[in-house]
Amino acid sequence: MLNDSLWQFTGIEYLYEQFTPLTPYGIAWKNSRELITDHVALKGIYDLTEAALEFINAAPEKADKVSWHLRRLPMVQCSHQANLQLHEIFQYKKFLLNYRQIIRVLPEELRQLFGLSFDSKELLSKLDIDKTEHETFYVSSKYDDNLRVIRQAIHDLDDDMKKRKAELCQKLVQQFQLDFHFRDFLVIPNESAAALPKDRLFLEPYDSCHVIVKPIFDQDYQQLLANRSQLVAKEKQLEQKIGAELSEWITNEVPTINGYTQAVRQLDIAFAHARLALQFNLTRPVINTRDTPISIKNGKLLPMAEHCRNMSLKYWPLNVDFNDPVAVLHGSNMSGKTVVLQTIGFLQLSAQLGMFVSADKYETTVFDEIYFVGDIASQKIKGLSSFGQEMTVLIKALQNKTENAYKLLLIDELVRTTNSAEATALLSGLLQELSQQTRVRSYIASHYYGLPKLARLTYYKMKGINWAGLLDKEQSTDRNLTERIRVIQKQMQYEIEPDTAKPDRDAIRIARLLGLNSEIVDYAQQYLDQENVL
């Protein structure tokens, strides 16, 4: 199960909640939220998704039928338990009927691909002895002729008792105006009850002024009731015997049925992945070996893309090739550094949860562990300062929990709360360590410059504001805050490029644009020019 802070940071829930398997088997798989770390298993899932996609596109009506039957598949308890109860036998019948229908709809090549076959014809014919193919179950009289005889006898008794009851009710209406037609009992005043014959009507107190009256059935009727009870007991015994036989049939076939449930789980998951891919125009990720670069072409953080659409803002997809295992991302405030990290996490989680990804191309590798180190409410630790919390999470991420685990670290603004000199020093130490690790890939967003140049480490920066594109009127101090933010967002170029030059001084200019006192901003600019620091 993935940790909540990573889940929250990447916004993956936006996509994952739309991934909707239809069977209890697929739903259980979804709810496990397991990160798939087996390269071959992941490719296998993608292959099945592609096959499902092809089928949905080629035969949408048949795909709908498959979904219909998938939705109706119940969870069957596949154990070697003897003596299944009737409702459990019903579940097996319902499962087999729908499973067989799915197989009938799917073409041969898909059946083979998903390992779907139906070898339970005999069992199903036992469960559906009346050959109705209805998703219902009862112990049919066809299982045993004695059952038919007993049920007929009960039926005859019921008819007899119904007739006698109707006659009795009719007499009671005629003689005492007591109508039990719609009522098991009546409540009548005490004075009315006084004259009623106690051998024909049962009376008991209701309140101080009324009594409850019920008809008393004669001895013959009581005898019929007793006979019925005996017959029902015999019927139950026979039903239990038949149930035990059917249970044995089912339990003998448990290994086969287990195979069915695994096959439908795969089918269900593949169809759900395919529907998701169609809904969000997702593409199959490319899973490479661990020493190859991560490459993203038009990668989208879907929740952010929707947010931009709602705000009528341009969304900038991510385009980048990360050749080195350590990447430091610089950029001014509001330039989108964090969004880059979120996008990487979103794409990687999508891929390793078995889904296709929101990118024109996403080439990556499989990580055994993925960590997020940064400021997220869900990872707050009571009693620790922000700095203490960051360090705790970082230590955990760097620990070798599993031997030879290949890790992905997404680190957002580490040590942002401490003084800049120590922060830079700590960050430098971390980079030194990470650049020497062969089994870790790290993406680090940071404000801090003055960091070391190291092998296997590349600096990137966000392109930032297109100052040349800003109109004079857009820089006017007359605008309100919302308008100013909008101007910044409009002119911000959320693109990533290698950072080879001196840092941009966007933060000071953005502060000015947001309306910070010009004396402060001017002094800051002069200070920076004098210091001339990286």
Partner 1 sequence: MTLDFQQFYKNTTFIVGNDKHTGKTTFLKYALMNLRERGYRPAYMSIGVDGEGYDFLHGTSKPTIIVQPGDIVVTSAHCLESSDAAYQILNVFPQVTVLGRMALVNIARSGFVELTGPENNQQLSAILDYIQNETEADTFLVDGAVNRLSQVSSNQSAGFVMVMKVTASNLIQAAEQIRLLHLLIDLPSCSNCDSMPITGALTESRLKAIPEDCKAISILDFTRVFLSYEQMQSLCDKYSVSIKNKFILRYFIVNLFDVDKAAFAKMLDDHIRQHVVFNPFMEEAIC
Q: Give Cβ neighbours of residue 63 (< 8 Å, ≥ 6 apart).
A: 55, 56, 271
Q: Which is nearer to partner 1, 182 or 530 (CB)?
A: 182
Q: Which of 18, 24, 67, 428 binds partner 1 (CB under 8 A)?
A: 24
| Phi, psi (degrees; rounded to nearest 5) at 354 | 95, 0
Residue identified by tokens 């593949």 is 270
Closest CA to 211 of 182, 238, 190: 190
- Which of these segments, 81-89, 324-332, 363-371, 386-394, binds partner 1 (CB under 8 A)? 81-89
Q: To which H or E segment does residue 528 belong?
A: helix 518-531
Residue type present at position 503: P
- Which of these segments, 163-171, 210-218, 353-361, 454-462, binds partner 1 (CB under 8 A)? 210-218
Closest CB 99 distance from partner 1, rounded Å: 16
- Which of these segments, 11-19, 52-60, 186-194, 340-348, binds partner 1 (CB under 8 A)? 186-194
> What tokens does 450 get?
């003055």
- Asked if residues 282 and 273 have their Cβ atoms less than 8 Å apart, the reply is no
**What b/e string do you get for 409-440 counting C-beta neighbours within 10 Å, with b at 16 or more?**
bbbbbbbbebeeeebbbbbeebbeebbeeeeb
Q: Which is nearer to partner 1, 104 or 236 (CB)?
A: 236
178 near partner 1, rule: CB under 8 A? yes
Closest CB 149 distance from partner 1, rounded Å: 15
Closest CB 352 distance from partner 1, rounded Å: 29
CA–CA separation, 509 vs 334, rounded Å?
12
Distances (CA, A) of 506 to 80, 497, 502: 69, 16, 12
528 near partner 1, rule: CB under 8 A? no
Binding mask 94-113 for partner 1 (x = CB under 8 A): x-------------------
Q: Which of 35, 36, 59, 86 binds partner 1 (CB under 8 A)?
A: 86
- Asked if residues 442 and 409 have their Cβ atoms less than 8 Å apart, the reply is yes
Q: Which is nearer to partner 1, 176 or 346 (CB)?
A: 176
**In the range 156-175, which residues lie near partner 1 by CB under 8 A?**
158
Q: Which is nearer to partner 1, 22 or 340 (CB)?
A: 22
Q: Which of 40, 138, 145, 455 binds partner 1 (CB under 8 A)?
A: 138
Closest CB 452 distance from partner 1, rounded Å: 55
Q: Which of 50, 135, 360, 368 binds partner 1 (CB under 8 A)?
A: 135
Q: Which of 17, 61, 184, 403 binds partner 1 (CB under 8 A)?
A: 184
Distances (CA, A) of 431 to 367, 375, 434: 20, 20, 5
Closest CA to 300 of 359, 241, 215, 370: 359
- Helix 86-105 with 60-72: angle, nearest 10 deg: 170
Q: Which is nearer to partner 1, 176 or 372 (CB)?
A: 176
Length of the chain, in residues = 534
20 near partner 1, rule: CB under 8 A? no
| Phi, psi (degrees; rounded to nearest 5) at 49 | -65, -45
Binding mask 30-69 for partner 1 (x = CB under 8 A): ----------------------------------------
Q: Which is nearer to partner 1, 25 or 346 (CB)?
A: 25
CA–CA separation, 511 vs 488, rounded Å?
11
189 near partner 1, rule: CB under 8 A? yes
Closest CB 263 distance from partner 1, rounded Å: 20
Residue type present at position 475: Q
176 near partner 1, rule: CB under 8 A? yes
CA–CA separation, 324 vs 455, rounded Å?
9
Closest CA to 460 of 416, 503, 427: 503
Q: Which is nearer to partner 1, 229 or 517 (CB)?
A: 229
Q: Could you write out the three-class secondary structure of 446-514?
A: CCCCCCCCCCCEEEEEEEEECHHHCCCHHHCCCCCHHHHHHHHHHHEEEEEEECCCCCCCHHHHHHHHH
182 near partner 1, rule: CB under 8 A? yes
Q: Which is nearer to partner 1, 113 or 193 (CB)?
A: 193
Q: Which of 14, 185, 217, 449 binds partner 1 (CB under 8 A)?
A: 185
Binding mask 230-269 for partner 1 (x = CB under 8 A): --x-------------------------------------
Burial class (CB within 10 angstroms; exposed 0-12, middle 13-18, buried 19+) of 14: middle
- Which of these segments, 100-108, 225-233, 316-324, 428-436, binds partner 1 (CB under 8 A)? 225-233
**What's the farthest any 2 CA atoms get from each other in the chain?**
116
**What b/e string do you get for 331-341 counting C-beta neighbours within 10 Å, with b at 16 or more?**
bbebbbbbbbb
Q: Which of 121, 142, 183, 307 binds partner 1 (CB under 8 A)?
A: 183
- Asked if residues 340 and 496 have their Cβ atoms less than 8 Å apart, the reply is yes
87 near partner 1, rule: CB under 8 A? yes
Closest CB 188 distance from partner 1, rounded Å: 5
Closest CB 251 distance from partner 1, rounded Å: 18
- Which of these segments, 106-114, 149-157, 277-285, 330-338, binds partner 1 (CB under 8 A)? 149-157
Closest CB 84 distance from partner 1, rounded Å: 11
155 near partner 1, rule: CB under 8 A? yes
- Asked if residues 9 and 274 have their Cβ atoms less than 8 Å apart, the reply is no
Count of residues near partner 1 by CB under 8 A: 41
Binding interface with partner 1 (CB under 8 A): 24, 74-75, 85-88, 90-91, 94, 135-138, 151, 154-155, 158, 176-179, 182-189, 192, 206-210, 212-213, 228-229, 232
